[in-house]
Amino acid sequence: MKKILVFMCISMLAFWSCSSDGGTSLTLKNMAAGSIYMNFRGEVTTVSAGRTVVLSDLPKGTFAYVTTYAVPAGATSSSAVGELQGEITVNAGTQVLILYSSLFSENKYTIYATLTSNDDLDKKDNPIFP
């Protein structure tokens, strides 16, 4: 009985300490004047102006995303600059931030998107550890 109890405790500790996602997240921070809508992994996430949404526990893999946006009233034209669409690669521990901002000038609305990640982009170029 004692052996079974010890085995169960060790199994539970191993299960709790193992995680397939490794603390992964995608943060959408909307500093733009209008709402944004992100289509990611077959779901649409809405982020109102001035809000932040965090998608956590993402599985490993490479996923496409597309962002659409609301144009504020009074704009006669609009344009988008930056990474409003593309691919996101998720590894264990990956944390991604997409920051949206905008400019409204002379009745033209421009939305900007920048994507950053905590993943090391220089891993492939390391001459010591290929």
Which CATH number covers residue 67? 2.60.40
Q: Which of 80, 84, 82, 75 is nearest to 104 (CA)?
A: 75
Q: Residue type for 115, please?
A: L
d(CA 27, CA 96): 6
User: Residue 110 domain-assigned?
Assistant: yes
Domains contained in the chain, number: 1
User: Residue 41 domain-assigned?
Assistant: yes
d(CA 106, CA 78): 11
Looking at residue 122, its pLDDT comes to 59
The model carries a pTM of 0.76
d(CA 102, CA 109): 7
Tokens of 117: 């990640």
d(CA 8, CA 111): 54
User: Residue 14 domain-assigned?
Assistant: no
User: Residue 130 domain-assigned?
Assistant: no
User: Residue 125 domain-assigned?
Assistant: no
Looking at residue 79, its pLDDT comes to 97
Looking at residue 119, its pLDDT comes to 83
Q: Which domain holds residue 104?
A: 20-120
User: Residue 112 domain-assigned?
Assistant: yes
Contact 126, 111 (CB under 8 A): no
- Give pLDDT tens digits along the chain (130 positions): 555 544 444 544 444 444 444 699 999 999 999 999 999 999 999 999 999 999 999 999 999 999 999 999 999 999 999 999 999 999 999 999 999 999 999 999 999 999 999 986 655 554 444 4
User: Residue 4 domain-assigned?
Assistant: no
